[in-house]
């Protein structure tokens, strides 16, 4: 019995010291929350995990092919009702920024982009005074 308790203690201590039991990012909970928050009329396309690894990463980036004549929406979900300093920026195929969720120092939880040119677009998440470096996002479209 003592050996079993000791083994459980050692395993628990290992997880605590390695950080896997404390402070680990779980972006799935945020992506699941983001999908129903897409605006009315937008169809869900894809979810994105935002894991800044506790601040070790300063950005997380994905790419997606956008189609001309389609409007896209990207939303961000993090702790509580705020975006926790997570900024989503959208860049076209030439890496020109075409939209951002940080406007005049304020964070908004979603951006909409009417696509005028078919091509690869880059969805970039950065952390601006974020406390958790963890969140989720959903991409939706409407025609």
Could you state, in chain order, the average pLDDT of each consecutive group of 10 residues for the chain (143 residues)?
47 38 78 94 97 94 98 92 89 97 91 98 94 94 96
The domain ranges of the chain are 25-142
Instruction: Show the tokens assigned to 89.
Output: 């920026």
| pLDDT value of position 14 | 39
DSSP conformation class of 142: E
Most distant CA atoms of the chain, gap in Å: 69
**Per-residue pLDDT at 131:** 86
CA–CA separation, 94 and 102 (whole Å):
21
Kindly report the length of the chain.
143
Given a contact cutoff of 8 angstroms between Cβ atoms, the answer to whether 95 and 31 are in contact is no
Q: pLDDT at position 130, please? A: 87
For domain 25-142, give the CATH number. Answer: 2.60.120.380
């Amino acid at each position: 019995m003592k050996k079993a308790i000791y083994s459980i203690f050692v395993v628990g201590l290992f997880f605590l010291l390695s950080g896997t039991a404390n402070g680990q990012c779980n972006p799935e909970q945020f992506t699941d929350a983001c999908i129903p928050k897409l605006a009315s009329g937008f169809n869900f396309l894809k979810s994105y995990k935002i894991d800044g690894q506790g601040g070790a990463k300063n950005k997380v980036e994905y790419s997606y092919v956008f189609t001309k004549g389609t409007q896209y929406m990207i939303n961000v979900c993090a702790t509580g009702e705020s975006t926790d300093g997570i900024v989503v920026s959208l860049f076209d195929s030439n890496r020109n920024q075409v939209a951002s969720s940080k406007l005049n120092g304020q964070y908004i939880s979603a951006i909409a982009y009417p696509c005028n040119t078919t091509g690869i677009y880059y969805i970039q998440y950065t952390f601006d005074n974020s406390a958790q470096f963890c969140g989720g996002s959903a991409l939706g479209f409407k025609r």
